[in-house]
Amino acid sequence: MKIFKIILLPILFSFIALSCKTKVPDGKLTRTDDAAMLFGFLNPDVDTITIALSLAKGVSNKKDKTITIADLEQAEVKLEHKGQSIDLKFLETRSGKYSNNDKQIVIFYTLQSKLPILPGETYTVSAKNNSLFDLKATTTVPSKDFDFDYTISGPFPFDHNYPEYKVNMTIRDPGNGISFLRVVTHVSIKDQDQSYTSYDVAKEVQQESNGIIKYDFSFNADLDNEEKETTLSCINTTESYFRYVTAIKKGAGGGGDPFSEPTSVYTNIEGGYGIFSAFCTKSKKIE
């Protein structure tokens, strides 16, 4: 048996030693170009139209195309509706809240007075920088013909900084214009800058039935604090937005679980990635 082991061990060693990782030589698999991403959510009730661009950096160092933030800033961004086209202006480049500095978006804007956003109408956005990127997307603004009521109960003790409240929403949709909706509770602090606003609950749900939609959810908030104002919003949105958010929630980007299935980032942007959608929002202050 000892001799047997003496013979076997070097073979086992050689097996381990020869098993290896090798760098894949240059080829189609190894080249990962940079791409541009576009985000936009049109809303008839907001004075300003904003479109954001960001980078999707190719993960390898081998690239045929490299795009920088400066390239995004120099993009030509247009919004079109029924033959009318307006240019959006560069506003700023900035990091997101709690984001690392290497995560940046480039924001373009225009005023709605120049191109009104109307429910039921279709709009096309484009963002182009010579041969580096050429993005295009279309969305149709959903109906505003809906309203909602709610009842709230609580507070309930919860293992959290703030107690829990339960909300029962009844959404009336007489025109059957809602296929995809979003519910947001929005807490802001009085007399302070809007940048302190946070979105504690954001749930996207699909329509449950025609006409009346019932939606129940809970959120955590400090409603007794008079310094804070809480708003409940119901948003009629597009299927594209719903699919984008669903993909992000499912872990596009990898949630760290090596056993999870790979998730495609949903996009409706031709020539790149991202989401171009529209919101129609109804909001009520929570008393």
Partner 1 sequence: MKRMMFTLISTGVFTTITHAQNKLSISGFVHEAGSKESLPGAIVQVKDAEIFAATNEQGYYSLSLKPGTYVIQLYYPGYNDTSLNIDLQENKIIDLAIHPRNSLEAVVVTAKTGNAQEVRGSTHQLSSEQVKNIPALLGEKDVFKVIKLLPGVQKGQEGSSGFNVRGGNTDQNLVILDDAVVYNASHLFGFISIFNGDAIKGIELIKGGFPAKYGERLSSVLNITMKDGDKQRYKREVGLGLLSSRATFEGPIVKNKASFLVSARRSYADVLAAPIIKATAKGSSLGANFYDFNAKVNYQIDKKNSIYLSGYLGKDRFSSKSNPEKESFSKMVFGWGNTIGSLRWSHIFNPRLFANMSVNYSNYRMGINMQERFQGETYKMSLLSSIDDIGGKYDFSYFANSNHTIRAGYKITRHYFKPSTFVEIEKGQKFPNPNKEYESWEHNLYLDDEWKISKKLAANLGLRGTAFIAGSRPYFNIEPRASARFLIDDQTSVKASYTIMNQYLHLLTSSSLNLPSDLWVPATDKIGPQRAQQYSLGFFRDIEHPGLSLSLEGYYKDMSNIITYKEGVSFFDMEDPAELSKNGAFEDKVSSGIGHSYGAELMVQKPKGRLNGWLAYTLSWTKFKFEDINNGKFFYPRFDRRHDLNLVGFYELSPRIRINALFTIATGNPIIITRQDGTTVSNIPADGNLANPGIYLDNASIFSGRNDFRTELYHRMDLGIQFSRERKKGTRTWEFSFYNLYNRKNPFFYSMEYNNSGNERALYKYTIFPFIPSFTYSFKFK
Which of 155, 163, 281, 286 contacts partner 1 by CB under 8 A? Answer: 281
Comparing CB distances to partner 1, the nearer of 179 and 231 is: 231
| DSSP helix/strand/coil, 159 | coil
Closest approach of partner 1 to the CB of residue 52, in Å: 5
Distance between CA atoms of residues 70 and 51, nearest Å: 16
Distance between CA atoms of residues 105 and 55, nearest Å: 8
| DSSP helix/strand/coil, 123 | strand
Q: Name the nearest CA neighbour of 184 among 144, 215, 141, 211.
A: 215
Bridge partners (DSSP) of residue 126 are 78, 136
Applying CB under 8 A, does 68 fall inside the site for partner 1? no
Site mask for partner 1 (CB under 8 A), range 229-248, x = bound: --x-x-x-----------xx
Q: Which of residues 2-61 bind partner 1 (CB under 8 A)?
A: 4-5, 8-9, 11-13, 15-16, 18-24, 28-30, 32, 34-35, 37, 39-43, 45-46, 48, 50-52, 54-61
Q: Which of residues 88-147 bind partner 1 (CB under 8 A)?
A: 91-92, 94-99, 103-105, 107, 109
Closest approach of partner 1 to the CB of residue 211, in Å: 24
Comparing CB distances to partner 1, the nearer of 83 and 258 is: 258
Pairing, β 180-189 against β 228-237: antiparallel
Applying CB under 8 A, does 158 fall inside the site for partner 1? no
Applying CB under 8 A, does 279 fall inside the site for partner 1? yes
Instruction: Kindly report the three-state secondary structure assignment for every residue of 198-218.
Output: EEEEEEEEECCCCCEEEEEEE
| Tokens found for residue 284 | 């009520």
